[in-house]
A and B are shown apart, each in its own frame.
Chain A
Amino acid sequence: MKKLCLKKIFILSTLVVVLIGMLCLGIFGLNNSVDYKNAYELDVSVDIENEDTSSIMQEQCKKYFEEVGINPVAYSLIKIGDKSVVYSFHNDISDKIVIEDLISVIKEKAENYMEFDAEIYQTENYVDSQTKNVVLVMAIALVLAFIYLLFMEQIKSALTTLISSLISVLLTISLVSITRVPVEPVFGISVLSSFILSFILSGVLLDRFKEDLRLQEASKLSTCEIVKNQTKNSVVRYIMISVVVLITALVLVVLGTGYLKFLGLQLVLVCVSSLFTSYAWTPMVWKFFNGKKSE
């Protein structure tokens, strides 16, 4: 009864998360944080090149943004040379920002002889070198990994690993959609990492099942008992991996600004989905394929 309840909880919780996640994805899409297309830029510049002036501009701009109600998370900035600071915004800020007011706030701390200028631009297009065909690569990786596992393991183990990894990827995408964690700049890598991590964790667990299956006659253990024992044995490994990843993610979230924070949050979600899938789904799927032998 207890086993059945746990199984139902795992399946139900996964289904609920994936369903809500896909719904969020369909309605809201992914959170692109500072989406460079259809975004806005504010270029603030000074006529004299001076490193200190650049710091003053940043400090005063931040003060002005707070005054007009623009959250620090809503923009990213880069310094260009020592005369310009460029702020990128996701939404239209041309109504919130009054250039004259911004410049007078900057001049509160700057020298009188300095002349400041600010211009608002709309980003018409953004192109970068990032590849878009991560899904294709993952599909090819899935096929090749499946072929490799067929050579090394039974087809049931290979199928189990693949299904677990796919569920892990789905869960990662769903969790990112639900939590609205911004996906820039490395979402493709996060999805792939979820795939790889789940693959590795499931693979090792299945190796344990295989070992015990070989000794099944001598040990007189049923398939259920093999799964239960080995899953229990793997808990410590899962805890160790999750703790170290979470600590690292925490460092990025606490120390980092902007994108690094998002990266840390994505790492947390990748860790949670991969570990949950390996712990909950891998044994279930493997047991399903191997049937119930002498309970």
Chain B
Amino acid sequence: MSKAKSITFLSILGVLIAAFIFFTFASFSVGTKDYVGLLRALDYDYDIDGGTSYTLTLSDDNDESIEDIESVSETIGTRLSKLGYENYSITALRRTDKETVLDDVSYSLRITVKTEENNLSDITAVSAYGEVKLYGGSSENPTDEIMTKEKAINNSEYVGTSVSNNQTVYLTSIEFTDYGYDELMDLINNNETAYLKIALGDTTLFNGTISSGGISGKTVYMQLTSESAAKQTALQVSTGGLPYKFEVGEGLQTSPMLGENTFNYVWIAVFVLFIACVVALFIKYKSIATVGAMTLFFFLFIYLWMLIAIPGITVSIGSILGILFALLLAFDGIIISFKRVTEESEKGKTVKSSFKVGYKRALVPVINSSVLSAIVALLLLLFTRGTIKMFAITFGIGIVVSCIACLLFTRFFTLIILPLIKNEDSIIAKKEAE
């Protein structure tokens, strides 16, 4: 590469570096959202950035006291997972007042989740009371409960979106059992349509007319106006309600579970690791470390932008660990490459040849490390949830970016830097004679 091209590329890179540093601290808007700094553009979970807490207190009109609070907590947890909550905590609390009568233990549940618009409706849905009951007749005059002899509904799922009368609607399927289907067909009979109401306790989940043509297999589809409502309805129809009645308190902002200023501390740790890696490279490899420093910088740059750009990524403490280990992987890859380059240079090869052969020799170990790490990350993604799954997601993305950085960026930056060095032999720090 000619000197002029090198200078041009370096100038462009310099502008990108400046932009990155600027956006890290400056405020900017994307669409309707305002961000204070690049790091704030990431979506954080409640352990780092605080969340919302809901307290469920046992209603006074419960017929019986709770005997199995663990089972209630587990059920709520399973339902939250079904609604798409990756990270949550549920604490069952009992007052320890000396005056409390042993037979009248009062429990409350505190659910802490990441703050979202639908939190309250989701928490209300997962803690709803009662059993799923079906009714026929008409909307003005529903009959008594029908389909009581056996289980009538097999499953209910959120299906997706559809367009009806130029409006987007959200579909939930209700799959009936053989018994339920037969009862439904009897209900429809010769009228071709029938009224069906599905309720959970006092809440109506479905209320409308079903035609024989509207049944596909044994499945009926409901149209709802929002995705959250469709998912909640599917959950409630398929799992029913809790055996105890809870009152849901208002949502209150909670501080980060990991302590105040967690956001600042974790990012300071990431940047300290970055600086430490760069300094270590300069101490060991002298001039060649410029290539390493630029590689690490652009690794971090692209990595953070990917975490912002890829939808659905929520950063928790597991994600921060994923970022740290991905940075470490990139650092290790750079050391492997530079070590090979130095060895080739010590054999007497020219600088360009040393870089070429050294990078080639580093290919296999770097790819091996990346593939092995990727195997673990993929397994974690498939078989775990919560913080570990978030670690897997960010670490997995980091593996891809670090592999590209170690194999491509190092070569590219070497091509840019080399023409600008007057004494090419000085770029590689060789072993001093013993």
Contacts and interface: CB of A to CB of B under 8 A. Distances in A.
Given A131-B383, A247-B276, A203 B259 contact: no
Nearest to A210: B364
Interface string B54-72: 0000000000000001100
Interface in A121-142: 121-131, 133-134, 136-137, 140-141
Nearest to A234: B339
A149 B329 CA distance: 19
A122 B107 CA distance: 10
Contact of B268 (A36, A126, A255, A257): A255
A236 interface: yes
A251 to B, nearest CB: 5
B93 A124 contact: yes
B207 to A, nearest CB: 33
A98 interface: no
Nearest to A136: B383
A288 interface: no
B89 A251 contact: no
B131 interface: no
A111 B255 CA distance: 24
Nearest to A211: B361
B365 A207 contact: yes
B265 A81 contact: no
Interface string A180-220: 00000110110011011101110110010001000000000
A68 interface: no
Contacts of B4: none
A247 B273 CA distance: 7
Given A124-B107, A140-B379, A140-B383, A185 B388 contact: no
Contacts of A129: 77, 80-81, 85-89, 385-387
A48 interface: no
Given A241-B331, A243-B280, A130 B375 contact: no
Contacts of B69: 124-125
B273 A244 contact: yes
B335 interface: yes
Interface stretch (A7-15, A72-80, A102-110): A72-80
A245 interface: yes
B373 A196 contact: yes
Main secondary structure of the interface of B (DSSP, over half): helix
Interface string A219-243: 0000000000000010011001101
Contacts of A4: none
A148 B268 contact: no
A260 B332 contact: no
B269 A141 contact: no
A257 B259 contact: yes
Contacts of A41: 91, 93
A24 interface: no
Contacts of A259: 257-259, 317
B318 interface: yes
A84 interface: yes
8 contacts: A124-B69, A127-B74, A128-B77, A131-B385, A131-B386, A200-B372, A204-B369, A248-B324
Interface of B: 47, 53, 69-70, 73-74, 76-77, 80-81, 85-97, 107-108, 252-262, 265-266, 268-269, 272-273, 276-277, 280, 284, 317-318, 321, 324-325, 328-329, 331-332, 335-336, 339, 361, 364-365, 368-369, 371-373, 375-376, 379-380, 383-389, 391
